Amino acid sequence: MPILDFTVTKEESGVRLDRALSRMLPDSSRTFLQKIIKENCVLCDGKCVTVPRFPVQPGMKITVDMPELTLPDVPAAEEFDFPILYEDEQMLVIDKPAGVVVHPAAGNHEGTVLNALLGRYPSLAENLSTNSRPGIVHRLDKDTSGCLVIAKTPEAQFHLGNSFANREVSKTYLTIVRGVPQRPTGEVVTLIGRHPVNRQKMAVVERNGKNAITSYRLLGSGNFNGMQVSLLAVKIATGRTHQIRVHMNHLGFPVLGDQIYGGSRSKAEGVERQLLHAWKIEFPHPGDRRKCAFKAEVPEDFRKVLLFSGIEAEI
């Protein structure tokens, strides 16, 4: 069984153990984490804790003895219920809701985009012997909403994968951050690698990381529940894990609701997830390479924060 070690930060003081673990292991469901806590798989400062609501304290060392989980040979086919932005014989573009994982992983065997794809396109299951993620050419974090491109054939997956790898894809995100940048536009270029303490997180590092380039444009600012907030359009020239969230926090403007990277500074009453939305995407079609451009409308929870903040922008 893999052993994972984490150290509780000051921002997580008093947080329930299951909630703290969900921030440390964002790809695992809360139900799964509560289960392993009750099954004696979690130590806090060397002592077994079996109560999910146990409050953690700063500096506490949490050790998780993760069960060896094997995914089914064929993930379960489930009902497809995602808004479709575009579809043809080779590809599909959906508007992924927040709270949905793209592909199965430990603690998330069901309810993923891949499960739904297998329900809508049973032929994709034929490729599982050579490809554990048929159709998936890129991913969005569980709590990030917006445009997700899917290949419907192995050939389309190959060509779309090459487009992403060769940086032929333009992605624009919308995000609401805490604070107001002094400059209306900006760019950050750093290395991003594994966090030196919490290996499940990413961080800006000085060495042993990958080059990451993010640019932003300020669309508006306002006040939400007593804090200054800004709406940014963000473009990424690279596709590093959690890149926007890491870079925004590095600049001092954490994504609102992103308690994994922003900690207590990103907390806001009524905000249940990181306010990050994959707004627009452009790429060459996997067949004839014509330019394709799609936009996912801003979700309701995002719009409510903009409304209450007094931010008006053409989006």
The verdict on 305 and 204 lying in the same domain is: yes
Which residue of the set 27, 65, 81, 141 is catalytic? 141
pLDDT band (50, 70, 90) for residue 191: very high
pLDDT band (50, 70, 90) for residue 27: low
Domain boundary among 111, 134, 166: 166
Evaluate whether residue 79 is within a structural domain.
no
Tell me the residue length of the chain. 315
The verdict on 126 and 213 lying in the same domain is: no
Q: How confident is the prediction for the chain on average, in pLDDT?
A: 90
CA distance 242 to 262: 12
Count of structural domains, the chain: 3
Give the range of the structural domain holding residue 162, as residue numbers without chain letter: 84-166
276 touches 202 (CB < 8 A) = no
Lowest mean pLDDT among 41-45, 50-54, 239-243, 264-268: 264-268
**Known catalytic residue at 141:** yes
Residue 74 has a pLDDT of 65
pLDDT exceeds cutoff 80 at 129? no
Q: What is the pLDDT of residues 289-303, one digit of tens each?
A: 999 999 999 999 999
276 touches 144 (CB < 8 A) = yes
Domain of 257: which CATH number? 3.30.2350.10
Domain boundary among 116, 147, 166: 166
Closest CA to 278 of 31, 65, 125, 98: 98
Q: What is the pLDDT of residues 212-221, one digit of tens each?
A: 999 999 999 9
Phi, psi of 257 (to 5 degrees): 90, -5
Residue 172 has a pLDDT of 97
The verdict on 191 and 130 lying in the same domain is: no
